[in-house]
Amino acid sequence: MLQTGVVTSHAHAYRYLAPSAVGPSAQPRLQLATSDLQGAHPHFFEGSLRAPRLSAELLSAVHLIVGSRFFVPANTLARIVALADPVVTSGGGRLRFEGFSSCCSAYIRVDMLPGAYEGDVVGKGTTNVDFNAPMRAALAGVRDADGLGLSIGQDALRLRSGSADIVEKKVALPLRWLRGMLEVQSYQASMRKKLEARGIEALRFFRSLPRASTSKTPLWVVAGAGGLRTTTRAEPLGVRIADTSRLRVLEPLLPKALSLAVYADDAQQASAWVLDFGSMRLTLALSAEVWRGFSGEGQALRALMQAGDNVALARVRAQLQWQAQLDCVALAHELGLDKSQVDDALRVLGVSGLAGYDVAEGSYFHRVLPFDLALADDMHPRLAGARALIDTGAVRLVRRAPMEASVQGAGVLHRVREVDGELLCTCPWFGKHQGARGPCKHVLAAEAIQSMSPQGAP
């Protein structure tokens, strides 16, 4: 049973050599305090950013989203959730900063490509960074004329005359925030480009949006003769958006953007808004509704349920070497696998914290979230529920094709059946969401039993 208002979290102790800050000097240097669960402070990168002011503005946008909450459930107290530190990844010549809003309905990532920086040392790794209020204030004062050096790791964390104040910070990270970080990768992998506009055209469009989104009627963004526009009528070639306040973080950045590209999945369950600055990109992914955090979705549960001792998954995982792009076709050819097997393996790796997805490049990239992800079932209650149903023998396969099964619930016998290629269930979860938020535990269990039963079964 779901307990409303209960927030489950994992507490991790983070050690920072010093607070993050912009150090005073003739040429200011952005110094990011990093934390490693193993106790070491990896030296990922040291160099300078070629567009200091723009870089500072993009990093401030990450801080703004991480510090925002766009929805507070009416039946809970407006509890302040501790801010989750953004995650920074260095690998394949890219620097990536990503984070989530407190309500998990907005995900943001800044990608710094090789042309965005000058530096001799680019290591490989992922860690948390201490983005605090003083950091944002310091970033607001960065000027192009001053330049901006960037160092991440032990060698660049000296703030006062070489003195190193050790700061120990304990952060409670809600499990739903972690689930959101994992689920959003699956959503992005199913998106395709729907709309595109030049930066100035996009700015005009953003300025036409309502300043406050109080209406429950969703808007559809479509391309017109005069550029992007909105309509309240569903448009198959448009992008659905609810609560335009989540887009406001992009507006001050548009004058410097080369273009805006908008991506969405075919079911219009999520969208991604990508600003291209040439050597840098900003991606903002939004759930269909503010009350629908990515943490509650289940788009990759099928792949996780079927992972098990998957040989293809193990072989693809062995190829991970902090690549900035993971080419499915090339991996399939190299490993002698079908592309569909590689796709499924990368999807599982994405929801396991071992890969992120870049919609602009249409590919996964390798990174390892700096959290303990061993308890996958804790992050996916429906997955745990499905496995429990199988372990207790609660699932009986009635027919393979079209598939039909009976699943014994808590005092209720549920029926899972295939209709026009889709699996339907009689449980309340399916009745409420109609499969839009991933399969229910009964469908997951029935599919698993079907895959394990002999081919000759009825």
- For the chain, domain boundaries: 13-174, 183-296, 301-355, 380-452
Q: Which residues contact 301 (CB under 8 A, 6 or more apart)?
A: 380, 382, 383, 386, 438, 439, 444
pLDDT for position 276:
98
Which residues lie across from 221 on neighbouring strands? 230, 239
The CATH label, of 3.10.150, 3.40.50, 1.10.3470, 3.30.1340, for the domain at 13-174 is 3.10.150
Structure tokens at 347: 């999807």
Residue 429, φ and ψ in degrees, nearest 5: -60, -50
Report the pLDDT value the prediction gives residue 170, as an integer from 0 to 100: 37
CB-based contacts of 444, cutoff 8 Å, min separation 6: 301, 302, 305, 382, 383, 385, 386
Q: Check if 13-174 and 183-296 are the same fold.
A: yes
Cis peptide bond upstream of 428, omega within 30: no
Which position has the token pair 């407006």? 78
- pLDDT for the residue 404: 93
Match 């410097």 to its residue by tokens. 256
Alpha-carbon distance of 109 to 50, in angstroms, equals 19
* Nearest in space to 156 (alpha carbons), one of 20, 40, 303: 20
Q: Report the predicted TM-score, pTM, of the whole model to 2 decimal places.
A: 0.79
DSSP conformational letter for 86: P
Residues in the chain: 458
Q: How far apart are CA 324 and CA 332, in angstroms?
A: 17
Using N-to-C axis directions, what is the helix angle for 441-452 and 381-391, rounded to 10°?
50
> Are residues 407 and 414 in contact, defined by beta-carbon separation less than 8 angstroms?
yes
d(CA 426, CA 229): 40
In the CATH scheme, what is the code of domain 183-296?
3.10.150
List 11's β-bridge partners, or say none: 172
Rama region for 233: left / alpha / beta (φ>0; ψ in -120 to 50; rest): beta
Residue 10 has a pLDDT of 44
Instruction: Give the integer Cα–Cα distance in Å for 260 and 277.
Output: 9
Residues 38 and 154 sit within 8 Å (Cβ to Cβ): no
Can you read off the two tokens belonging to residue 326? 């993971």
Q: In tens digits, what is the pLDDT along the chain, a chain of 458 residues?
A: 333 333 344 444 444 444 555 555 555 555 555 544 444 444 577 778 899 899 989 989 998 998 887 766 555 444 444 455 677 788 888 889 888 887 888 999 999 999 999 875 556 777 766 677 777 777 787 888 888 777 765 433 222 222 223 233 434 455 666 677 777 888 898 899 999 999 999 999 999 987 765 556 789 999 988 899 999 999 989 999 988 889 999 999 999 999 999 999 888 889 999 999 999 999 999 998 887 767 545 666 776 776 655 788 889 999 998 899 999 999 999 999 999 889 888 888 887 778 899 999 999 999 887 655 555 555 678 888 998 999 999 999 999 888 999 999 888 999 999 998 889 999 998 888 887 777 899 999 998 888 776 554 55
